Structure formats: C-alpha cells, structure tokens
C-alpha cells in the first residue's frame, strides 16, 4: 500500500519566555514580523514544501492563534487545529495531533523558525528517498553550546547532542523535523524526557540515533531566521526589510529617504522616514524621525519619537524619546533588544 502524503504540523505552544514582554499579551504565533504574524510564515513554508494538509497545535489557553491560522490558510491546502492542553514539550505537542499522525511521514515546524532563500523540497525529497527514520535540516550557528548540534557524514547524522559543552560541529537544528512513521510512533509512545520533565523531540531523535537508527540531514542552503527571542526577531526584521520595494511617499511637511512602504489610511505629519521603513494600516505619526529598519504595527500612534532598528507592535502608543534596537509592546512598553 502506498505511503500517505506527508502531514505538516506547526508547533505554536511554549511560554515564549525569550519574547517577553511581547508575550504573553500576544501568543508566540501572533508576534508580528513585518506586520505579519509568525504563524503565517510557518504555513507558507510548509505549503511551499508541497504539503497540502497542515495541522496547527495551539496551547490550551490560546484563543487567538487558531482563528488567525485559518485566516492565513495558503491556497490549495487545508488547515486544522489540535490543542496541547499543557506545555509539556514539543514531543507532547506532536502527539496531541492524534490519529492524523497514523502511518505517515510528518514534517514538524516550530513557529518561531523562519527560513528564506532556498527551496526545502529537496530536503523532503532526500528524506523520503533515504529511508531514514528522521531527517534534520541544519544551519551554521556561532552559539553551538546553546543549540542542538549535529555532526554529519555526507547526508547522514552521526552525532546529535543538545547544548553540548564540547560541540563537535557548528551545525544546529533549526526547528524543522522530518519524521518517518517509526519516529512519529516513538515520539507518541516512548519519547525522551529532558531535564525540564518535557517530551523532547530532538532528544528522542538523538536517542534513536544512539540505538542505531538511520538519521539523515544536511545543511540548509538559505537563511535561517530564529525569531524566538527579541534579538532574533529584530535580526529577522532587518533581513526581511531588504525585500521591501521602494514606493513613492508624500505627506504634508514630511520627507522620506530609501525604501518606505505604507498601508492605507496612514497619517504622517512633520516627520522624516529613513528607509527601510514599513508602516501598518491606520498608523498616525507626528513630528517623528523613523529609521532605518523600523516597522510600525497597525493602529500605532507615535508623537515626537526618534526610532532606529525598532519593532512597534500593533496598537502601541508612545510619545517622546530616542530609542535604538528596541521592541515596543502593544501596551507601549519600550524594551531593549540589545
């Protein structure tokens, strides 16, 4: 009997500690990147791999991510929801999907992983052809002691260790796991429990590797944007702003330089915009200097502010001050991401 097509699963739970104070006011999947929620990037990534059936796993108290995911369903795909009642780790989140996992390959993505600049379908094709129990796309990191680190020989992973004290390579797991049915069942029935008492997805794969399972992987040729922290979120914003196309901008008593993109209903007066800058819908800006690398969320109100390298969440209101490398929450709190 033919193997069913792969299922795509996006994990959105977890406490989002490294993204505070944006969280918990916003669930991690709703954190904005270029004024799009992170969940939208994840759905597009899995759809771009050719997956047509997607499941979004949401936390038990998260009432925002599910409707947003359904609203951002990519063309020619279906999106359904599963609930992880308690934040018991990524392995438990996968298991919460239930019977849809039965006897099929599964592609699992962490919602704070954003990838650009390369096609991931070659990883999926290589995984299916390899017969491996699991496959891990990998990317270079300069912080190997803080990541899950793999050592490879060709397309085969030979060692896999979480946060090693003596790393054997600089190739990190990037929050994307390709699992054959045997690995899925191991995660569901007998996962490895980490030091936090959580079901550990990478740890389970490492245990299988140590038991002799074939685990494949190779370097991802594109750019890995880790949006799981405020620093990473601003770095991702800077990278993606490179793609903002230049647009003509005109407003009373204001000037713009470089790439500036605006939505409708924007009010800008007496201000200078130093692109790249992105303004969301229904933004009001008066007597401000913004940029470079500033994104303003929908409905924000700024007066007398100077911002560089900043993300302003939707609905924020701030007045006065000069700030760089900051994130502004929906409540107007200004937090350094340095």
Matching fold, domains 7-229 and 244-336: no
Rounded CA separation 18/184 (Å): 28
Neighbouring C-alpha atoms within 13 Å toward the C-beta of 134: 29
Whether the CB-CB separation of 279 and 265 falls below 8 Å is answered with: no
Q: In angstroms, rounded to a whole number, what is the distance separating the alpha carbons of residues 24 and 203?
A: 27
Measured distance CA(279)–CA(230) in Å, rounded: 20
C-alpha 91/C-alpha 182 separation (Å) is: 14
CATH class of 244-336: mainly beta
The DSSP output letter for 4 is P
Strand partners of residue 334? 328
Cα angle 129, 133, 134 (rounded to 5 degrees) comes to: 85
How far apart CA 199 and CA 186 sit, in angstroms, is 11
The residue whose two tokens read 């954003």 is 114
**Smallest Cα–Cα separation from 215: which of 277, 278, 284, 155?**
155
In the numeric block, the tokens 């934040």 are attached to: 87
Helical (H) or strand (E) element with 161: strand 156-162
Q: How far, in Å, CA of 186 to CA of 89, rounded?
A: 15
How do the domains of the chain map onto residue ranges?
Answer: 7-229, 244-336
Compute how many other C-beta atoms are within 10 angstroms of the C-beta atom of residue 101: 22
Task: Check: CB of residue 288 under 8 Å from CB of residue 303.
Answer: yes
Instruction: Please provide the CATH number assigned to the domain covering 7-229.
Output: 3.90.550.10
Mean pLDDT by 10 residues, the chain (338 residues): 86 84 88 96 97 96 95 97 94 96 97 93 96 97 94 97 94 97 97 92 97 97 94 96 68 71 82 92 94 95 97 96 96 90
Query: What pLDDT is recorded for position 131?
Result: 96
Phi then psi for residue 48, to 5 deg, are -65, -20
**Beta strands 294-296 and 277-279, pairing class:** parallel
Kindly state the helix (H) or strand (E) to which residue 279 belongs, with its residue range.
strand 277-279
């Amino acid at each position: 009997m033919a193997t069913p097509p792969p299922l795509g699963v996006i994990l959105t739970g977890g406490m989002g500690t490294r993204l505070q104070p944006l969280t918990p006011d916003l669930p991690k999947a709703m954190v904005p990147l270029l004024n799009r929620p992170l969940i939208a990037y994840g759905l597009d990534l899995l759809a771009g791999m050719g997956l047509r059936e997607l499941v979004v796993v949401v936390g038990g108290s998260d009432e925002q991510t599910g409707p947003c995911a359904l609203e951002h369903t990519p063309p020619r795909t279906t999106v359904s929801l599963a609930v992880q009642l308690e934040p018991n780790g990524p392995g438990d989140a996968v298991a919460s999907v239930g019977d849809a996992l039965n006897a099929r390959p599964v592609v699992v993505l962490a919602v704070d992983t954003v990838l650009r600049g390369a096609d991931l379908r070659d990883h999926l094709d290589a995984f299916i052809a390899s017969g491996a129990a699991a496959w891990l796309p990998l990317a270079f990191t300069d912080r190997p002691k803080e990541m899950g680190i793999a050592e490879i020989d060709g397309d085969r992973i030979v060692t896999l260790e979480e946060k090693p004290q003596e790393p054997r390579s600089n190739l990190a797991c990037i929050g994307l796991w390709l699992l054959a049915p045997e690995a899925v069942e191991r995660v569901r029935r007998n996962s490895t429990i980490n030091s936090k008492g959580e079901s550990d997805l990478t740890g389970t794969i490492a245990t299988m590797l140590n038991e002799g399972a074939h685990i494949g992987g190779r370097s991802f040729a594109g750019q890995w944007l880790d949006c799981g922290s405020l620093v990473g979120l601003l770095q991702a914003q800077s990278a993606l702003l490179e793609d903002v196309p230049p647009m003509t901008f005109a407003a009373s008593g204001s000037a713009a330089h470089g790439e500036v993109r605006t939505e409708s209903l924007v009010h800008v007066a007496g201000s200078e915009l130093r692109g790249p800058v992105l303004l969301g819908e229904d933004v009001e800006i008066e007597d401000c200097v913004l940029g470079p690398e500033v994104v303003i969320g929908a409905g924000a109100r700024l007066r007398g502010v100077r911002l560089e390298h900043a993300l302003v969440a939707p609905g924020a209101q701030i007045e006065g001050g000069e700030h760089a490398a900051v994130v502004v929450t929906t409540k107007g709190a200004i937090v350094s991401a340095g």
